[in-house]
Structure 1
Amino acid sequence: MEMGIYALFFLTTAVVILSPGPAAIAVASQGAGSGMKYAIFGVVGVAAANAVFFILSALGIASLLIASDVIFGVIKWSGVAYLTYLGLSAIFSKSGALQVSAAAPQSRAKLFVKGFVIEIANPKALLYFAAILPQFLDVSKSFLLQIMIMGVTTIFLDLISYSLYAYLGERLTKGAVKDWIITLINRVAGGALLYAGIRIAVV
């Protein structure tokens, strides 16, 4: 995998993961209610769900890429449209969109299951892997190696990003994070997603 392609994959995946969604709000709520120490189990649950999505998507994508240029084109432009949608949604989201409230502390197992179920039931997560992943694969090179690199990278970014949300959840309940900070994060994330969409469109 070329470094330029990997860098774009890293940026795109990081920004998509950082964009507030059901999983982010869930782990932030866990951080608010149970603390960072316990919320980590919810974070691992989200990462585990994404690992399942990654494997399922990867198994089907190889044959699609090799079989038809038309199918690849459809997947490519679906990915561009999805990134554009995510980017505009983030840019125009309301200030302080990430609102969480403290909940009763839960067991580690329940936190893990909650994180896993929320992410595995999120159709946008599957859409991301099905529509975005193919853009970064080179069928002339080792498919397995590329999948392993992107898989490990994705899980790493999941753990880092959602841990940050768990921490923010803890801080939000104490009034330590201002609305304008969340707004700024949304604007920057939205711009980065639009940039990634443009880059993919011109490939």
Structure 2
Amino acid sequence: MTLDSYLLYLGVLVAFFATPPDTSQLLIMSNSMRHGLRRSLATVAGDLSANSLQMTAAAFGLTALIATSADALWIVKWLGVAYLAWIGLSLLISKAAPPDTGAAPKARLRVLFRQGFLTSSANPYAVVFFGALFPQFIDPASPVLPQLALLGATYLIVDGATLVLWGWAAQRTLGRVRAIQGVWLNRISGLLMIAAAALLGSRDLAQEAGR
């Protein structure tokens, strides 16, 4: 891979992430508002872990198999939608935190990790995305594995930085609006979760409508 190809790849990633928040970004915003950015790094780790597995699947040539498994994709996608909607509704109906702190109870790190992992895994088309993206920047005359490792690591770094940035922005916004706490914080976080579920589901519906 030449330096020009790598810089072009970086440009593509920057353009890809320079968009309104997607499902995973809405999740990190919600968790950062409720639990703080530091604890929500577990959500980022879960998201990136799922991405790593998806990249591995793409590297082993499973893209075509996944793309043709329509029923499996449908089940995975809508389980993810239901999972995010359930979290959001739970937050909407939950009671406010104790009035002396106004803070949400701290979730366990493994719970935050699981949320990030399952949310990212609920988009099985990511494997197809990686399978279509990486070959555009691979030089077949050079060893492929090191190139895949470089492309994958770069994606994870850019993705992780983007998630942390969204989480930081959400936490900072909350810090400036001190009145948002207790039940209202839960409601805002719940609405972000439901928005993530709606975004995930709407993509699937759009793809079905286009067939």
Does TM, scored on the shorter chain, surpass 0.5? yes
**2:120 corresponding residue in structure 1:** 119
Sequence identity of aligned pairs in percent? 25
Paired position in structure 2 for 1:9: 9
1:135 is matched with 136
Task: Give the 3-state SS of the residue equivalent to 1:139 in structure 2.
Answer: coil
In the TM superposition, what whole-angstrom CA distance separates every residue of 1:111-136 from its partner, at most 9, and x where no partner exists?
Answer: 11100110011145333212212211
Deviations along 1:39-73, whole A, 9 cap, x unmatched?
Answer: 111011111111111111112189x9xxxxxxxxx
The answer to whether the aligner puts 1:47 opposite 2:61 as a matched pair is no
Q: Per-residue deviation at 1:172?
A: 3.1
> How big is the shift at 1:175?
5.2
Name the CA distance, whole Å, in 1 between partners of 2:27 and 2:40.
Answer: 9
The corresponding residue for 1:167 is: 168
- Partner residue in 1 for 2:80: none
TM-score by length of 1: 0.61
Tell whether the 8 Å contact from 1:32 to 1:103 is kept in structure 2 after alignment: no
Number of paired residues?
139
Give me the whole-angstrom Cα distance separating, in 2, the residues matched to 1:124 and 1:103.
34
Partners of 2:125 and 2:170 in 1: CA distance = 22
Match of 1:34 in 2: 35
Matching residue of 2:153: 152
Residues 17, 158 of structure 1: 8 Å contact kept: yes
> In 1, distance between residues paired with 2:104 and 2:122?
22
> Runs ≥4 in structure 1, deviation > 6 angstroms?
none
Query: 2:56, 2:118 → 1: CA distance?
Result: 17
2:187 is matched with none
Give the secondary-structure state (helix, strand or coil) at the position aligned to 2:141: coil
State whether residues 24 and 165 of structure 1, in contact with CA within 8 Å, keep that contact through their aligned partners in structure 2: yes
Verify the 8 A CA contact 2:32 2:167 in the aligned structure 1: yes
Q: Distance in 1 between matches of 2:12 and 2:104?
A: 32
Q: What amino acid is aligned across from residue 139 of structure 1 in structure 2?
A: P
- 1:188 alignment counterpart: none
Q: 1:150 deviation in Å?
A: 0.9
- Note if contact 2:134-2:148 (Cα within 8 Å) is conserved in structure 1: no
Q: By how many angstroms is 1:34 displaced?
A: 0.4
Q: 1:154 is matched by which residue type in structure 2?
A: Y
**Alpha-carbon distance, 1:14 to partner:** 3.2
> C-alpha deviations, 1:180-201, integer Å up to 9, x for none?
xxxxxxxxxxxxxxxxxxxxxx
Which residue does 1:198 correspond to in 2? none
Paired letter, 1:163: V
2:3 counterpart letter in structure 1 = M
Contact 1:46–1:115 (CA<8 Å) still a contact in 2? Answer: yes
Amino acid at match of 2:53: V
